[in-house]
Amino acid sequence: MKNKQQLYIEYIMRFAEENKRHIWLGGSFASRTATYFSDVDISAYCDANYLNRLIYGYGKPVYISFTHKPLGILIVIYEDGVAVDLEIIEKIDITDSEFFHTNDIKLYHYSRNEKLCKDFSLRDDMHYQISRLFHRSLIKFLSGKQDIGVSIANEVAIFSNCNIFIDKASYKNSIVELLKLFNEQYQLPSEYFAILCQLIEKLDEVNCM
């Protein structure tokens, strides 16, 4: 049975060919080192109209934000749990007749579309931006990169100005406490909050493996 990320990758393959838009698969799925919890890294060369169709054609996003360093990358999390790092390409030197690529986009000369990235974010307030780190921390921890997951969670704790310190041994209890505190200060979108709770439940399964 195919997992949800594989279904998403098949979706973007079809989208690229049917719409004649260049899309690159990158990250752990391109290098075949992905885990069940990995996000999908793609780079898409398209305008606002095609970007809208690309994002919403797969399913309902419960969270869309953007990275600050660098600008030009959207973080899209869908209601089925698929998480995508979507790099938006504004200009690129390419003449290929194939539209779905698995080679490294860094081999090309290109620039990102920073404005379009900001336009597609659902919100731009700092609490919303910081809240994406809960998801990032959890998927890193669940993927076996526990030190990174802990470090990211502590970034949220510092931002929240609370006395919670997270380490590997106390990760689950501490992330639950931090999420509760953060949600009291700033109510997260309910569907995004539900995704975070589902990931927290997976922590027990991973710890038993």
Give tens-digit pLDDT for 127-170.
Answer: 999 999 999 999 999 999 999 999 999 999 999 988 899 999 99
pLDDT digits (tens, 9 = 90+) for 86-125: 999 999 998 888 999 999 898 899 999 988 888 898 888 8
Q: Which DSSP symbol is given to 72?
A: S
Co-location of 22 and 111 in the same domain? yes
Contact (CB, 8 A) for 88 and 112: yes
Does 51 share its domain with 72? yes
What is the domain count for the chain? 2
Q: Which of 82, 98, 120 is the last residue of a domain?
A: 120
**87 and 34 together in one domain:** yes
Residues 157 and 88 in one domain: no
In 3D space, the residue among 195, 44, 187 whose CA is nearest the CA of residue 120 turns out to be 44
Give the C-alpha separation, 110 to 5, whole Å. 26
Question: Could you give phi then psi for residue 61, rounded to 5 degrees?
Answer: -75, 135
Residue 23's pLDDT band (cuts 50, 70, 90): very high
Structural domain that includes position 174? 126-207
Report pTM. 0.91
CA distance 72 to 167: 32
User: Which residue's structure tokens are 């041994």?
Assistant: 169
**Do 44 and 65 belong to one domain?**
yes
Domain boundary among 120, 142, 175: 120
Question: How far is 36 from 24, CA to CA, in rounded Å?
Answer: 20
The residues, any chain, with a CB within 8 Å of residue 7's CB and separated by 6 or more, are none
Whether the pLDDT of residue 1 is over 80: the answer is no
Query: Does one domain contain both 104 and 151?
Result: no
Same domain, 172 and 86: no
What is residue 206's predicted lDDT score, i.e. its pLDDT? 63
* Strand ranges in the chain using DSSP code E only, listed in sequence order: 22-26, 40-45, 61-66, 73-78, 83-92, 100-101, 110-112
115 and 135 in a single domain? The answer is no
Q: Compute the distance between CA of residue 208 and CA of residue 190 in angstroms, rounded to an integer.
A: 29
User: Do both 115 and 199 map to the same domain?
Assistant: no
Closest C-alpha among 48, 59, 55 to residue 85: 55
19 and 69 share a domain? Answer: yes
